[in-house]
Amino acid sequence: MTINPPKNLLGLDLQELTRLVEESGQPSYRASQLFHALYAGRASSIEQVSTLPKEFRSWLAAQDFVLAVPEIEKKFDSADGTVRYLMRLLDGNTVETVWMPDGDEGEAGDGSEAGSEAENSGRRDWRRATICVSSQVGCAVNCQFCLTATLGITRNLSPSEIVGQVTAVLNEQKVSPPLERVNLVFMGMGEPFLNYENLMKSVRLLMEGVGIPQSRMTVSTAGIVPRIYDLGTEAIRPKLAISLTAPNDELRERLMPINRKWNLELLMTAAREFPLRNREKITFEYVLLRDVNDSRQHACELVELVRGLRAKVNLIALNPGPGIDFETPSDKNVLGFQRTLIEAGVPAFIRKPRGRDIYAACGQLKRTIQVAT
């Protein structure tokens, strides 16, 4: 006898739910009820959805449908309010998701402290917050300065696992709609553009279902050029960030081997051709590595590279990690690098490291179990 693996309702879109409801013989409005319960309502079990008649819920269960949200297995609290969640998936794999209250997302970038953070039964008040979402278990891209890279790639995350990270964190943080103060960045573990279809379906569910505006979502890529063109054709899409980290091919090949496949000319052409919306900018991320890419000369090369683009640069001082053979640059170099960009007319922001003390900062996400060993 074969046992069917459970099928997850989470991750299905309205069209798929409509087909399901038709099969069940229920009236078609049940599909939107279910859609609403799954995403806006962030239900965590089928039984919880009391708007649906019992017989429909039993029918779903009989068809091996479940409602499975990634389970928060562990939680690490940083002194700066950042929380790193270790999420357990149905197959036992784990990924990490990060909650950053009053994150500056590199917008303010002035290193100033976030505003009043009154303690509120162990939970901080916040004016806006950012959730950093993973797209894969591990990563295949192998950037030399990133801790996630040392894991290698296990598999892509499904839409239910991408959306589920967000709903799990929102539930845990007790965030109620409207969600205008919540930003999403697809900058956690993995290369989102190597899981393009699942990512884009998740983006649509997060916008149309969960209620997070597309203008509040950003996807970051190491430079998978064909998918940058694809993103430009999407009706609903997040903003685009590109991890640059080196201003010439020689250096970039060394730091980010993906540059051998798509070099800077191909990458920057795709960036120049990317159709921006009103007031939208492309973000370039640049991880500063001491004595490797942090000189004035590098900053000048970067200015030339982004000249004429509607863009801003987010500077990230390297977050160190075990087995990472690079060092964090001095504050003086970081500030000097920023000044060179700004003086040349390139908006440049220094991204505050968030949750470094709990290994939650950029490039530090790795299954905790492995960090501990």
The residues carrying an active-site annotation are: 96, 362
Minimum Å gap between C-beta 273 and ligand SAH is 19
Out of 221, 259, 283, 333, name the contact with ligand SAH by CB under 6 A. Answer: 221
Out of 67, 184, 282, 287, name the contact with ligand SAH by CB under 6 A. Answer: 287
User: With 0-12 CB in 10 A as exposed, 13-18 as middle and 19+ as buried, what is 115?
Assistant: exposed
Angle at 27 between CA 23 and CA 30, to 5 degrees: 90
Minimum Å gap between C-beta 3 and ligand SAH is 36
Instruction: Cite the DSSP H helix spans in 233-295.
Output: 249-255, 264-273
Q: Among residues 127 and 261, whose Cβ is nearest to ligand SAH?
A: 261
Please choose, out of 12-20, 84-92, 104-112, 219-227, the segment that lies near ligand SAH by the rule CB under 6 A. Answer: 219-227
Q: Name the β-bridge partners of 94.
A: 88
Extended beta strands in 263-357, E state: 282-288, 311-317, 348-350
Out of 243, 293, 333, 340, name the contact with ligand SAH by CB under 6 A. Answer: 243
Q: Contact, 217 vs 184, CB < 8 A? A: yes
Q: Is 145 in the site for ligand SAH (CB under 6 A)?
A: yes
Q: How far apart are CA 237 and CA 271, in angstroms?
A: 15
Q: How far apart are CA 262 and CA 267, in angstroms?
A: 6
Minimal CB distance residue for ligand SAH: 363
Looking only at residues 150 through 209 of this chain, which bind ligand SAH when binding is defined by CB under 6 A?
187, 191
Whose tokens are 């500030």? That residue is: 335
Task: Transcribe 163-221 into DSSP letters.
Answer: HHHHHHHHHHTT--S--TTEEEEE-SSS-GGGSHHHHHHHHHHIIIII---GGGEEEEE
Minimum Å gap between C-beta 297 and ligand SAH is 21
Minimum Å gap between C-beta 353 and ligand SAH is 8
Please choose, out of 46-54, 215-223, 264-272, 335-343, the segment that lies near ligand SAH by the rule CB under 6 A. Answer: 215-223
Task: Give the per-residue contact string, 68-87, with ligand SAH (x = CB under 6 A; - = no).
Answer: --------------------
Q: How far apart are CA 247 and CA 307, in angstroms?
A: 12
Q: Is 47 helix (H, G, I), strand (E, B) or coil?
A: coil
Question: With contacts defined by CB under 6 A, how many residues of the chain interact with ligand SAH?
Answer: 19
Please choose, out of 119-127, 170-178, 216-224, 275-283, the segment that lies near ligand SAH by the rule CB under 6 A. Answer: 216-224
Q: What is the 8-class DSSP label of residue 38?
A: I
Q: How far apart are CA 248 and CA 235, in angstroms?
A: 33
Please choose, out of 24-32, 142-150, 157-165, 267-275, the segment that lies near ligand SAH by the rule CB under 6 A. Answer: 142-150
Minimum Å gap between C-beta 143 and ligand SAH is 6
Q: Is 318 in the site for ligand SAH (CB under 6 A)?
A: yes
Q: Is 362 in the site for ligand SAH (CB under 6 A)?
A: yes
- Summarize as ranges the residues that interact with ligand SAH (CB under 6 A): 141, 143, 145-146, 187, 191, 220-222, 243, 245, 285, 287, 316, 318-319, 321, 362-363
